[in-house]
Amino acid sequence: MRSKPETIAHLSVKEYCFSKKEIKGVVEASQFKWDFTWSFNKGLLLVNPPLGRALIENSLLKFLLQKDYELESGNEYKFIISAKF
C-alpha cells in the first residue's frame, strides 16, 4: 500500500494586527517560500510571489481558518499539505 504524498509547510507569523484585522507572515514548503497577508474580516488571502501560489493557497487558507485565534505574532507553526512538491 502506497502512502499518500505530503509536504510539511512551515509558517511564521510576522504581524498580527487586530485593529486592521489582518495577519502577515511567511510560509515555506519544500524549496518554495511565500509572503502572505490574510485579512480575516474580509476572508481575503494574498500570497506572493505568484510562482507556485496554487500549490499553497488552499492549504494555507484552511490552516488559517482552523487556527485563527491560536496564532500569535512571532510564533512558528507547521501544517501538512496533501501533495508532494
Q: Would you place residue 55 in the very low, low, confident or very high pLDDT band (cuts 50, 70, 90)?
A: confident
Backbone angles phi, psi at 61, to 5 degrees: -60, -45
Dihedral (C-alpha) 67, 43, 55, 79: value to the nearest 10 degrees?
A: 0
The C-alpha atoms of residue 75 and residue 85 are separated, in whole angstroms, by 24
* This prediction's pTM: 0.90
pLDDT over 70 at 1, yes or no:
no
- Name the residue among 76, 34, 71 with its Cα closest to residue 55: 34
Q: Are 15 and 23 in contact (CB under 8 A)?
A: yes
Q: What is the pLDDT of residue 38?
A: 96
